[in-house]
Amino acid sequence: MIRMFEQHRIRWQKELDGYWDFGKVENELQSEVYSRKLIVPGCWEQDIQLCTYRGKGVYKKNIFLEKGLYRLIFKGVSHSADVLIDGCFLGSHYNAYTEFNLEFLIEQTGNHELKVLVDNSFNEASALHIPNDYYTYGGIIRPVVLEKLAEVYIENMFFTSVMESGGWTAKINFQLKNTTKIQQTVALECYMDELPIEDPILNNITLNDSERKFFTISKHFKAINEWSMEHPTLYSLNAILKKGVDLHLMDDLIDRVGFRQISTKSGRLLLNEQPINLKGFNRHEDYNLSGCSLSPSLSAIDIALIKDLHANTVRTAHYPNDERFLDMCDENGLLVWEESHARGITIESMQNPNFEKQSNNCIIEMVTGHYNHPSIILWGILNECASDCMEGRRIYSEQFSLIKSMDTSRLLTYATCKHFTDLCLDLVDIISINIYHAWYEKERSMENILKAYEKEYTWIQETGGFGKPIIISEFGAGAIYGYRSPYLQKWTEERQAEIIERCLEVYLSRDEIVGTLIWQFADCRVTEEGWALSRPRGYNNKGIVDEYRRPKLAYQSVKRIFSEV
């Protein structure tokens, strides 16, 4: 399954899921040995003999193709990919969590060989995937889609909704691409559900040789059903490209959109002009035995548990998520803080010559790919990176400018751990702090939690955060599933529940705190390099469910407290 809804009725599309031939590549001078078959999408760690393999591997699949122009869309390859068709290099991509696509021409109908060289190793070339408190898996972790392209096709369609003059205005930005060397003239029809959205410019669009054409239309609606947490109304936005005097069907693109607006006012967070509070979790895409490649059914289990917990928000710590999970958030009225890929990168590592290019590419691909999801209300960047020095501030500032150049409809934030030293609070709409009161500190009384928070709140008011809404973006404690003791030793479920209860009681008593996001929803695997020895079981155990989604004691505490706010 590519998305939770049909994206094309005209364009030919095929998902290349199922078994692919696979071989480890431990010596690039050797010819490839395809020793097994692996399921795509999936992580190679799902294979018992590859569970700890870090290095290169090659996937191969033979596909029958007729003559024509095609596009391959890879929704996620972890973490680096080189793609070849019939031995010819098509292109490469870095970063597991964003999609990339490659066009290619088939001149001979018949069987063709598709190969993908994948690498999940840690080295200087990889500035974002580094030894970390989450695992970098290996493989073609998300769907692969093959499309046949017409002479002109709809490359992108961006929908923005604005509350104005007593109703809603929909703005739709189209990007068409001429794949030929000759001038093409087309017509575009656009529907929202069955309602036509007309504009004279759609009737006659001319594209020159290989031209990409961008244009925007808009339509005002007096009465429309808003997208909200309680009523997440979605509309099908359908664009149809036609050509020639007979206006024959050429291409189409269907997406799902919602009318909603996110803003801040007087220190409050507003959804459709109504104040809201975020209550939820940080969630890694990690499920025991299936790694970071979550099928829709596994993602649906998480959605159901998050709703059972009376939560309304998920932070995609610390990278862009699988689109099908975001589709589910759209359908269920869950709010999303989506963030570009980075966790705890020092200023020295941010100066890796690959870092800014890789980080900016991730942002561009995240915003481009996920723009139309109404559930995404916040863009975040650079979790716990170097926001406490001027060089780091330059990078934060440039990345926020990059996002604003692509999307001004969402709020911006970043999660900091640079307590009392952060230099970037003035750059964002919402201040977000990661603070593990009572876990990483010895003291765990509520008085101490409150005192520690108030001290930081005062500092925030004086250093760029004055009057801004605050999210406690990470707080929590570790617990090993099944380790129970009335003595509340560290790592017991009882201790975790107590700490989360006390923290929530303090944070929920503060008006300026508009969000509380527990670290974390589920336990996740960490890298053996640099982390496994300091993380019991080689896992980050701060989930309120474990990696099998078995609830710990804290589950009931959180469910009770979230049901009351």
Q: Please, which residue, 54 or 343, has the CB nearer to ligand ADA?
A: 343
Kindly state whether residue 387 participates in binding ligand ADA, applying the rule CB under 6 A. Answer: no
Q: According to CB under 6 A, which one of 160, 316, 432, 434 is a site residue for ligand ADA?
A: 434
Kindly state whether residue 343 participates in binding ligand ADA, applying the rule CB under 6 A. Answer: yes
Q: Could you tell me the sign of the dihedral formed by the alpha carbons of 172, 173, 175, 176, in that order?
A: positive
- DSSP E strand stretches across 131-193: 144-148, 152-164, 167-178, 184-192
Kindly state whether residue 496 participates in binding ligand ADA, applying the rule CB under 6 A. Answer: no
Using CB under 6 A, count the residues that bind ligand ADA.
12
Q: Please, which residue, 68 or 530, has the CB nearer to ligand ADA?
A: 530
Q: Which amino acid is at 188?
A: L
Q: Where are the alpha helices (DSSP H) in 343-492?
A: 347-350, 355-370, 390-406, 446-462
Percent of residues in the chain assigned helix, strand, coil, to nearest 5? 20, 35, 45
Q: Please, which residue, 61 or 495, has the CB nearer to ligand ADA?
A: 495
Q: Please, which residue, 42 or 392, has the CB nearer to ligand ADA?
A: 392
Taking the C-alpha atoms of 90, 93, 98 and 101 in order, what is their torsion angle to the nearest 10 degrees?
-10
Site for ligand ADA in 347-376 (CB under 6 A): none
DSSP H or E stretch at residue 270: strand 268-271
Closest C-alpha to 146, from 196, 106, 94: 106
Q: According to CB under 6 A, which one of 285, 286, 339, 384 is a site residue for ligand ADA?
A: 384
Task: State in angstroms the smallest separation of the CB of 542 from ligand ADA.
Answer: 5
Site pattern 474..493 for ligand ADA (x: CB under 6 A): x-------------------
Q: Please, which residue, 410 or 535, has the CB nearer to ligand ADA?
A: 535
Site for ligand ADA in 265-324 (CB under 6 A): 317-318
Under 8 Å CB-to-CB from 500, ≥6 apart: which residues?
A: 475, 476, 477, 518, 544, 554, 557, 558
Residue 152 CA: distances (Å) to CA of 145, 174, 189, 202, 251: 19, 13, 14, 14, 8
Kindly state whether residue 339 participates in binding ligand ADA, applying the rule CB under 6 A. Answer: no
Kindly state whether residue 129 participates in binding ligand ADA, applying the rule CB under 6 A. Answer: no
Kindly state whether residue 227 participates in binding ligand ADA, applying the rule CB under 6 A. Answer: no
Closest C-alpha to 251, from 195, 313, 175: 175
Task: State in angstroms the smallest separation of the CB of 29 from ligand ADA.
Answer: 38
Q: Please, which residue, 18 or 530, has the CB nearer to ligand ADA?
A: 530
Task: State in angstroms the smallest separation of the CB of 463 from ligand ADA.
Answer: 20
Do 494 and 501 touch, CB atoms closer than 8 A?
Answer: no
DSSP symbols for 45-108: GGSGGGTT--SEEEEEEEEEE-SEEEEEEES--BSEEEEEETTEEEEEEE-TTS-EEEEEEE-S
Task: State in angstroms the smallest separation of the CB of 281 from ligand ADA.
Answer: 12
Kindly state whether residue 540 participates in binding ligand ADA, applying the rule CB under 6 A. Answer: yes
Q: Please, which residue, 294 or 317, has the CB nearer to ligand ADA?
A: 317
Q: Please, which residue, 343 or 373, has the CB nearer to ligand ADA?
A: 343
Q: Please, which residue, 160 or 434, has the CB nearer to ligand ADA?
A: 434
Q: CA 150, CA 78: separation in Å to the nearest integer?
A: 30
Q: According to CB under 6 A, which one of 22, 371, 519, 555 is a site residue for ligand ADA?
A: 519
Q: Please, which residue, 399 or 540, has the CB nearer to ligand ADA?
A: 540
Task: State in angstroms the smallest separation of the CB of 410 from ligand ADA.
Answer: 21
Do 174 and 155 touch, CB atoms closer than 8 A?
Answer: no
Kindly state whether residue 383 participates in binding ligand ADA, applying the rule CB under 6 A. Answer: yes
Q: CA 418, CA 345: separation in Å to the nearest integer?
A: 12
DSSP H or E stretch at residue 314: strand 313-315
Site for ligand ADA in 163-202 (CB under 6 A): none
Query: In the block, which residue shows the tokens 């290019």?
Result: 357
Site for ligand ADA in 388-417 (CB under 6 A): 417
- The contact set with ligand ADA (CB under 6 A) reads 133, 317-318, 343, 383-384, 417, 434, 474, 519, 540, 542
